[in-house]
Amino acid sequence: MALKVVRPGMTTPNNLRRFELEAEALARLEHPSIARIYEAGTADTPGGGPYFAMERVQGRPIFAHCADRNLGLRARVAMLAKVCEAIEYAHGKGVIHRDLKSSNVLVCEDGNPKILDFGVARLVERGEGARTELTLEGKSSGHWQR
């Protein structure tokens, strides 16, 4: 299990809202190729901040995994298909990742990919438009600790 928290000193209203949106996005998703969230809340400690407990994914970024294993074209396409299926699933649940890159797709020892880091995800409600936080140029979602 991994614990994700907002870094001390980074608890601005915008960062807290983005953290809450990430937890909500992950809570919508239960797919074998998407890291799972188990619990979210606020720490019951002095100055306790928000947290969420999630699946700890140990693996290599997808490009590094393919290179390390010298995977052929068929194996690479099969792995990409699994990632696409997971993204299609997320879209069906109203979650748009918005930061999909090789470092956010880890391949586990069993050869299955896991999509991580929904920190800038967009949540789309049917018939209600979208809820999102803007990512400004030069800004990253790197305000969190794992």
Domain boundaries, the chain: 2-145
Residue 15 Ramachandran class (φ > 0 left, ψ -120 to 50 alpha, else beta): alpha
As given in the structure block, the two tokens for residue 105 are 């797709």
Indicate the average pLDDT of the chain: 85
Strands (E), 7-120: 37-42, 50-54, 60-61, 95-96, 105-107, 113-115
User: Which residues are catalytic, by number?
Assistant: 99
pLDDT at 137 exceeding the cut of 60: no
Q: What pLDDT was estimated at residue 135?
A: 44
Q: What is the third-level CATH fold of 2-145?
A: Transferase(Phosphotransferase); domain 1 (1.10.510)
Q: What angle do CA 29, 110, 58 make, to 5 degrees?
A: 65
Q: pTM of this prediction?
A: 0.79
pLDDT at 43 exceeding the cut of 90: no
CA distance 125 to 138: 28
